[in-house]
Amino acid sequence: MAEAREIFRSNQTATYQIDVTKDDGQLIATCQALVYRKKALLPGLEKKL
């Protein structure tokens, strides 16, 4: 199972902690991601009316 938690968020950036565990809860991978936040949605993700 993968779980992502938002650690920090500002108007322009955000930091996420992503943990991947086995069914028994054993941690098998971890990642920290820094993202740039855009006001516009990515192509293909626009809200449909």
Q: Taking the alpha carbons of 8, 13, 14, 18 in that order, is the dihedral positive or negative?
A: negative
24-38 pLDDT tens trace: 999 999 999 999 998
Q: How many domains does the chain divide into? A: 1
Domain assignment present for residue 7? The answer is yes
Per-residue pLDDT at 23: 95
Which range of residues forms the domain containing residue 14?
2-36
SS3 state of residue 13? strand
What would the mean pLDDT of 11-29 be, rounded to a whole number? 97
Q: Is the pLDDT higher at 49 or at 2? A: 2
Domain assignment present for residue 41? The answer is no
Intra-chain end-to-end CA distance of the chain, in Å? 33
pTM, full prediction = 0.73
Domain assignment present for residue 20? The answer is yes
Per-residue pLDDT at 48: 62
